[in-house]
Chain A
Amino acid sequence: MMQIIIQGMLLSGLYALIAMGFMLIFSIGRTLNLAYGAYIMVGGYIYFWLSQQLGMPKIVGFGGAVAVGALMGLLKHRLIVKPLKGDPVAVEISTLILAVIMQSAMVLAFGDASKILLPLIPGVVTVAGAQVTYNILAATIMSWVIILALYAFVRGTHTGRAMQAVSMDEKGAAISGVDPDRINMITWAISGGLGAAGGVFFASYTQLSPSMWVAPVIISVAIVIVGGIGSIIGTLIVAHIIGFLEITVVAVLAPELRGVFTMVLIIGVLIMRPQGLFGREEH
């Protein structure tokens, strides 16, 4: 029981982090940014390359991954999303193509086989009878630090509030003196960085492989939609629902069924209540 609760908390924190970055973009453009999966995957690989193949300190690897993720977000916005402005279908499809391009780029650079990331921090600790690696503990704590920082940023700073304004009504925000273009760029960059950071943790939690991005992307999209677009609290709650659901299924039923219930939950909620559990009504 304790094992389930602790493991559930840990996995949920990770999911919340990954979903957060996706939420930023989805709440602005309502675009299903499948390339978000690419940030997750590329983040993991950059970290692997810098820290394990080049032997640099882990913090450099992590910083490098976040920087590359942010850069990818920026480029994506500049080169693809902006020229296609106003056409969500085109953006969706171009992000699918981009995701596959990045996936094959990683195969090209690192090969097809999956890789094991060395733990961020080695060691195991026993909490209330449950075995917890320092690695996943560190990942969860860092996820929470990043989430809280993001929350403070969005709520407390001028730029953060402008991001919210643009996500609610771009024209209205522009009239009140916010430059939506600049805000969009900042949002894409932050989203890319968050995705890459989440990717490093996620890869160290499972493993690193070129096709690792599909499941987290579906889960994060689902968390965001089920949680309600633009609601940070909703995202957090649903991340925990899904995290605990997966851990419970693995512990009680069978590990192979892990993803099945998540997908069923997602499909069910999307069909019955497309506006999500905590979101504002969409038109």
Chain B
Amino acid sequence: MNLRPHHFILWGLFIAGMFLMPELVGKGTLRTMIFACYLAMFAISWDILSGRTGYISFGHPFLIGIGAYTTGILTRRYGFPVEASIPIAVLVTMAGGLIVLLPALRIKGSYFALVTLAVMELMYQLVPVVRPDLTGGTRGISRLPALTRGAENGYYLAVGLMLAVALMAWLLMRTRVGTALWAIGMNEESVRGSGLSTTRLKSFAFLVSAGVAGMAGAFYAHYLGTITPRAFFDINVLFQIIVAVLIGGAGTIVGPIIGAFFMVFLLEWLRPYLPGQERFFVYGLIALVIYMYQPRGIMAIVEGAWTRLRGARS
């Protein structure tokens, strides 16, 4: 991707707009946006691994859940301060993800997806049963220490984190490693043929992805204040993450962010009409139609429309 001045201008406007938001909208909208920011981080994390390399992970809720539970257990059961528990949560997520999923990188395609899905389901069944004194069983852990007070500060924290994660992902993708990850998604054999260790590359992508997921999960847990197995190790969480990436545009930085905001706000608008899980019916249909029409997401649709518009003018 060539950088043009207008890219920087657009990003500048976007960031300024994000930080001005608390002046413009109410507390309720702000809370929705906080959720969207966290979802965007999960989505970026998924995209680093799956959007680039084509290894579809159905196990991201598992990583996010590890991050959330680690910090939850450390702060609530062992009295760790948040400053220590969140970095530990990130490390634990990376280690846990590596132990469980590194062997899974040997297998491909549907098998990889299935192993990650099975790991998520395993966690869902294990967490309530093993050491319920630590995990709180099916009722989870509540009253996690809050990091910020009030919706505005929570919002600034979430936006700041999201932008940091996006910047990190962007920088990573501009390196040779980023290019190699792309190449794996296109043709893994030829990457190996050019003398690169695909296992090492994939493990690296996985580690970064797990680190981001763990961090986002830990902060999200402190924002929510309560964590339960159903809120993390669930197929609907997985669905939200993957759909956010896909309708935004996989393999881009802005895509997952757009997708996450689109998704969260659409769900919010649907809330008055359909209160519960039914919203996913409308949402899923929209997602499916967008995906079938343009698998590369809203980004590609907008780009296509823009090119056509310019073509028509000249």
Instruction: Name A's B-contacting residues (CB within 8 A).
Output: 30-32, 80, 83-84, 87-90, 92-94, 96-101, 103-105, 107-108, 112, 210-211, 214-215, 218, 221-222, 225, 254, 256-260, 263-264, 266-267, 270-271, 274
Contacts and interface: CB of A to CB of B under 8 A. Distances in A.
B233 to A, nearest CB: 10
Contacts of B122: 259-260, 263-264, 267
Interface residues on B, range: 35 or more
A105 B280 CA distance: 8
Contact of B235 (A30, A80, A211, A222): A211
B278 A271 contact: no
A30 B288 contact: no
Interface in B227-263: 235-236, 238-239, 242-243, 246
25 contacts: A31-B110, A32-B110, A89-B54, A89-B109, A90-B295, A93-B246, A93-B291, A94-B288, A96-B242, A101-B280, A101-B285, A101-B288, A107-B281, A108-B274, A112-B277, A218-B114, A222-B114, A259-B121, A259-B125, A263-B119, A264-B122, A266-B115, A270-B111, A270-B115, A271-B115
A100 B280 contact: yes
A100 B104 contact: no
B224 to A, nearest CB: 21
A104 B278 contact: yes
B129 A104 contact: no
A210 to B, nearest CB: 7
B245 to A, nearest CB: 10
Interface string B159-199: 00000000000000000000000000000000000000000
Contact of A93 (B56, B236, B278): B56
B111 A225 contact: yes
Which among A31, A84, A89, A107 has the greatest number of chain B C-beta atoms within 10 A?
A89
Contact of B291 (A30, A97, A215, A256): A97
Given A88-B109, A97-B287, A271-B103, A221 B281 contact: no
Contacts of A103: 277, 280
B276 interface: yes
Which among A84, A218, A263 has the greatest number of chain B C-beta atoms within 10 A?
A263
Contacts of A270: 104, 107, 111, 114-115, 118
Nearest to A274: B107
A107 B277 contact: yes
A270 B246 CA distance: 27
Contacts of A31: 110
B117 interface: yes
Given A87-B295, A112-B276, 7 more contacts: A80-B288, A104-B278, A210-B277, A256-B129, A257-B129, A263-B119, A267-B119
Interface in B87-109: 100, 103-104, 106-107, 109
A30 B119 contact: no
B292 interface: yes
Contacts of B106: 271, 274
Contacts of B56: 89, 92-93
B265 to A, nearest CB: 18
Given A88-B109, A100-B236, A221 B114 contact: yes
Given A97-B284, A267-B118, A92 B111 contact: no
A76 B127 CA distance: 35
B284 A101 contact: yes
B128 interface: yes
Contacts of B111: 225, 270, 274
A262 to B, nearest CB: 9
A32 B284 contact: no
B300 interface: no
Which among B54, B109, B235 has the greatest number of chain A C-beta atoms within 10 A?
B235
A214 B121 contact: yes
B288 A105 contact: no
A245 to B, nearest CB: 14
Which among B109, B114, B129 has the greatest number of chain A C-beta atoms within 10 A?
B114
B109 A30 contact: yes
Contacts of B128: 256
B50 to A, nearest CB: 9
Interface in B125-140: 125-126, 128-129
Given A32-B110, A97-B243, A105 B281 contact: yes
B201 interface: no
A256 B138 CA distance: 12
Contacts of A101: 280-281, 284-285, 288
Contacts of A222: 114, 118
Nearest to B240: A100
A113 B242 CA distance: 26
B113 interface: yes
A195 to B, nearest CB: 17
B31 interface: no
